[in-house]
Structure 1
Amino acid sequence: MADPIMESGPSLTAKGNLVFKETTRLRFFGIPWPFTHYQIYENDLVVIKGLLNLDEDDCYLYKIADVNIKRTLGQRIFGLSTITCFVASDASGDKIELKNIKHGKEIKDFLLSQSEACRLRRRTVATQNLSYHDGHHHMDEYPGMDHGVDLNHDGIPDDLQH
């Protein structure tokens, strides 16, 4: 079966390699229901919905702050899962759901680890407050250090590591 939306060379390389490709399945019987497709690349999560009119929604993996997996009894019987990706600052909203898919645990683990790897590559810090230390700042403990500088490029300012 051909991909729902054809992609050109430059868009494929920007997204990275395709790692997972899933289709929403019927909750009962686990039969593929071809109206929603999920493509997970090294750098992007793509949700394609529709049969005649297609709606494609991309989300950079570095924007995924957390990932949750749920498996109802019916889903467990047929080996399905629903993954919820909590997204920071995306036009899709604050979460993206991948409903009734196979390989849920593997996809959840990949999304969680790859989103962190993408943040580190882009030197992007998630929506965490890294300057919080027991309710007050300890900046005076490091005289002469430039506050907020990240010399080792790990995404955390060096004055906050000790």
Structure 2
Amino acid sequence: EDGQCMYLHPVNVRCLVREYGSLEKSPEKITAAVVEITGYSMTEDIRQRHRYLCHLPLTCEFSICELALKPPVISKETLELFSDDLEKRKRLRQKKARDERRRERRIEMEENKKQGKYPEVHIALENLQQFPAFTSCPGETTSVDHQGFCQSPLGRSPVSQT
């Protein structure tokens, strides 16, 4: 209605053709949730893949819209028939979204590194492996590592060395 070149996704077209016999017999207006809109510019490759769009001139901008068709527009039987295709497209969308989030995080980390900002390291202060405790006195029996530290000149305070 607003002049945009927007076309149904081929999986939606196949669902409607299966349900109504042809696109001409399908409803003129469909109310459904938009799942994905993908923008394109017409090329020879796209013209070969989507032959129903061959009437569009080269370099024409257009969009292909996938809808979540549900009853009463199409029956449950038709939905089940195309469930594999719809699930495959759903998984691809989710993978694409995950990849995009990872890419954004990686770019953000690279930008932060350029600015001298590094991610915080979350290490508990109670972690004895990262922060060993040297609480024993020189006269007490402790592990070999602790005794060596307490007996070394570094283990004594500057006052006791005089």
Which entry has the higher C-alpha Rg, 1 or 2? 2
TM range (shorter): under 0.3
Structure with greater helix percent: 2
Structure 1 length-normalised TM: 0.28
Please give the TM-score of this superposition, normalised by the length of structure 2. 0.28
| Structure of greater relative contact order (alpha carbons < 8 Å, 6+ residues apart) | 2
